[in-house]
């Protein structure tokens, strides 16, 4: 059917009007028409689109709730990583952050943008030619989930950016959240329907955004504040963070109305104190303040360390405390066998969350607190930190309480509990892979995305595999058949085949992933990567002494002992051998004997500072380590050389004060050429 020109033009006018009204109502909180007038315009557009299907566009206000339910969320790879923020919990940490910034950029006063840290869920919005084409969760910062249909239901998110002067492609980042009022109303509806109530607004926002049916998300009172850009295709953008927020607002995106320009650390702290006082009166939950260097060019030059930018800091609000009663004390067995005591509490609302459990850390902590079942205690929660018992209110202790006796046997497998560390503080189950608690957690870790990435091997399937005795250790996974798996609950033939295929794919991995997957105590992704990069092969790592391991940067005596002990145990060697026989493999290189006494820089400690023109800092570090040097991040009297590039920081100053020999880039390149030559 041919669409009359008049109908096409009227539909375009209605879309523009409705988008403008949405902006005024949901973003500016300043409606310019009545609800009745808005509904009349929307019905007119719906009738036009019903008459002429060709008029339906992706950015039409009628399409906010129209998608079919999904069976799962697709993965989204973030082209620009969504970094997390470093945290500060007191003013001294903020002062230190500011000092480091000033030293790096060599200025007396830094201009920042300060704004409340909304307690919600980080989201990425991708616009192409002004139209919203994708919404994604942060995930692990590198990979998130596609929640496009759900973000389209959030009224404060424009389906089309306002105006015409916006980049061809732009990725906007921000926080989806729920107001206190919306949260209360949602829980009333949940309760009336006989459904489980949400614990706090953040939990409710996250759960709402991950509904497979967008119609359910549309019923939830979600909002979004935007604060940053990710991937962008544009020649001209604002030069400062504050100007960027203003530009986002012009494009129809909601930004925090409380964002403010501040100069210097004292104004940062003054803003923080003001927000602490206003916190309870705000319409939405916040858990701190974020400070960002205002200049975007300085942000770029400051860069990032690990997974956090150097130019931003989250200043968390003080911990919140409440009193409650200890109903029981139990011990839990962790993935590595660590025995952790946990206090089971009378539920209490603290720090925005209903708390019913609190960590007691270890046996020594229970003794220090003199904690007993039945005691009234003060519980503290700060941000996302696990709740903990601060103190016992002994004046309210009942006469019937008894001291807690730490168990001598594992509550799961009944193996002996052994004690490590000073005065036996650290308790571990000696059952190893024979302990079903450890076995399940070990398998879950092994199959996780950052480890072997076995798609479809979820917690419930692992629980069944262990409980029916089909898997005794991680190597047994690779002998599972479709017939065996199809006999489990919730696994049909097709799902079983998919899991077998996923197991087969996971056999092709990398050494760093495999090391991380083994679940060695305190060996995370970074340490696993460092081991893989340094030694090149598993055999070299397995044969390394504790002294060898400690020579690596950031590996101290405790981690070195954990690694060495792990590879000394015969049952671990047997499992690794089984894994390799069943086809698990990765590319290996010859081990790099960086710490051999035969290497020219053996025993030398070197520090890098500033920017090098000839190579990246990581490359310079690797080449120095290949020559036997220990490359550290701080200057001391034990430092042999400091390599000084352009715009050096305080390390150069400290080296000069200590009389440490400094080499500029030209001298450094000559040294490398001399030592690396055959």
Please identify every residue annotated as catalytic.
Answer: 117
Pairing of strands 308-309, 304-305: antiparallel
Cβ-based neighbours of 572, under 8 Å, separated by 6 or more: 518, 566
Residue entry with tokens 């969320």: 73
Between the two ends of the chain, the Cα-to-Cα distance in Å is: 78
The Cα 9–Cα 562 span in angstroms is: 70
* Angle, CA of 230, 527 and 314, to the nearest 5°: 40
Percent of residues in the chain assigned helix, strand, coil, to nearest 5: 40, 25, 35
The helix (H) or strand (E) run that includes residue 88 is strand 87-88
**CA distances, 514 to each of 167, 511, 518, 523 (Å):** 42, 5, 6, 11
Burial of 210 (0-12, 13-18, 19+ CB in 10 A): middle
The Cα 183–Cα 207 span in angstroms is: 12
The Cα 101–Cα 425 span in angstroms is: 39
Question: 639, 586, 645: which is closest to 614 by C-alpha?
Answer: 645
Pairing of strands 661-664, 641-644: parallel
Pairing of strands 339-350, 320-333: antiparallel
The Cα 212–Cα 72 span in angstroms is: 7
- By residue count, the chain amounts to 678
Q: Please give the backbone phi and psi of residue 80, each rounded to the nearest 5 degrees, phi first.
A: -110, 120
Residue entry with tokens 């807690």: 404
Instruction: With beta carbons less than 8 A apart as the criterion, state whether 198 and 187 touch.
Output: yes
């Amino acid at each position: 059917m041919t669409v009359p020109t008049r109908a096409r033009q009227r539909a375009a006018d209605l879309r523009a009007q409705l988008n403008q009204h949405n902006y005024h109502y949901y973003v500016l909180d300043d409606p310019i028409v009545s609800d009745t007038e808005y509904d009349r315009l929307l019905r007119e557009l719906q009738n036009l689109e019903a008459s002429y299907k060709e008029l339906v566009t992706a950015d039409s206000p009628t399409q906010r709730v129209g998608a079919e339910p999904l069976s799962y969320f697709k993965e989204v790879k973030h082209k620009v990583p969504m970094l997390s923020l470093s945290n500060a919990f007191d003013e001294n940490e903020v002062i230190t952050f500011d000092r480091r910034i000033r030293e790096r950029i060599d200025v007396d006063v830094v201009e920042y943008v300060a704004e409340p840290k909304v307690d919600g869920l980080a989201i990425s919005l991708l616009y192409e030619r002004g139209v919203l084409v994708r919404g994604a969760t942060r995930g692990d910062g590198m990979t998130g989930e596609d929640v496009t249909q759900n973000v389209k239901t959030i009224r404060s998110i424009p389906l089309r950016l306002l105006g015409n002067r916006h980049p061809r492609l732009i990725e906007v980042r921000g926080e989806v959240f729920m107001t206190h009022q919306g949260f209360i109303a949602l829980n009333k509806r949940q309760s009336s329907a006989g459904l489980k109530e949400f614990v706090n607004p953040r939990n409710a926002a996250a759960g709402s955004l991950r509904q497979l049916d967008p119609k359910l998300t549309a019923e939830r009172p979600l909002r979004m504040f935007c604060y940053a850009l990710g991937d962008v295709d544009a020649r001209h953008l604002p030069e400062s963070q504050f100007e960027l927020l203003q530009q986002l607002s012009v494009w129809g995106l909601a930004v925090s109305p409380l964002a403010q320009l501040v100069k210097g650390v004292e104004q940062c702290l003054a803003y923080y104190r003001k927000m602490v006082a206003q916190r309870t009166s705000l319409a939405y939950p916040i858990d701190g303040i974020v400070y960002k260097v205002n200049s975007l060019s300085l942000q770029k030059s400051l860069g990032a360390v690990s997974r956090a930018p150097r130019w931003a800091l989250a200043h968390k609000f003080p911990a919140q405390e409440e009193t409650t009663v200890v109903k029981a004390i139990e011990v839990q067995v962790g993935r590595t066998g660590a025995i952790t005591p946990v206090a089971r509490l009378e539920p209490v609302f603290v720090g925005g969350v209903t708390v019913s459990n609190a960590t007691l850390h270890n046996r020594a902590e229970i003794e220090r607190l003199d904690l007993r079942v039945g005691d009234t205690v003060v519980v503290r929660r700060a941000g996302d930190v696990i709740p903990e018992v601060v103190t016992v209110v002994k004046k309210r202790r009942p006469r019937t309480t008894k001291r807690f006796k730490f168990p001598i046997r594992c509550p799961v497998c009944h193996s002996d509990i052994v004690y490590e560390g000073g005065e036996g503080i650290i308790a571990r189950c000696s059952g190893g892979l024979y302990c079903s608690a450890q076995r399940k957690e070990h398998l879950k870790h092994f199959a996780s995305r950052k480890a072997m990435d076995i798609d479809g091997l979820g917690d419930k399937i692992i629980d069944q595999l262990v409980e029916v005795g089909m898997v005794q250790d991680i190597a047994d996974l690779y002998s599972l058949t479709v017939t065996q798996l199809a006999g489990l609950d919730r696994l049909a033939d097709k799902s079983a085949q998919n899991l077998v295929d996923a197991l087969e794919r996971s056999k092709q991995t990398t050494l760093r992933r495999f090391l991380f997957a083994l679940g060695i105590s305190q060996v995370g992704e970074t340490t696993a990567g460092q081991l893989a990069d340094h030694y090149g092969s598993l055999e070299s790592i397995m044969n390394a002494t504790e002294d060898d391991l400690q020579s690596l940067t950031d590996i101290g005596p405790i981690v070195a002992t954990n690694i060495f002990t792990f590879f000394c145990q015969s049952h671990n060697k047997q499992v690794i051998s089984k894994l390799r026989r069943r086809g698990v493999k990765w590319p290996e290189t010859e081990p790099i004997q960086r710490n051999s006494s035969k290497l020219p820089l053996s025993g030398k400690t070197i520090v890098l500072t500033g920017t090098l023109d000839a190579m990246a800092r990581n490359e310079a570090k690797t080449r120095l380590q290949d020559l036997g040097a220990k490359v550290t991040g701080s200057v001391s009297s034990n430092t042999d050389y400091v390599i000084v590039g352009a715009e050096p920081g305080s390390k150069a100053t400290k080296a000069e004060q200590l009389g440490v020999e400094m080499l500029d880039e030209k001298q450094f390149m000559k040294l490398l050429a001399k030592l690396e030559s055959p």
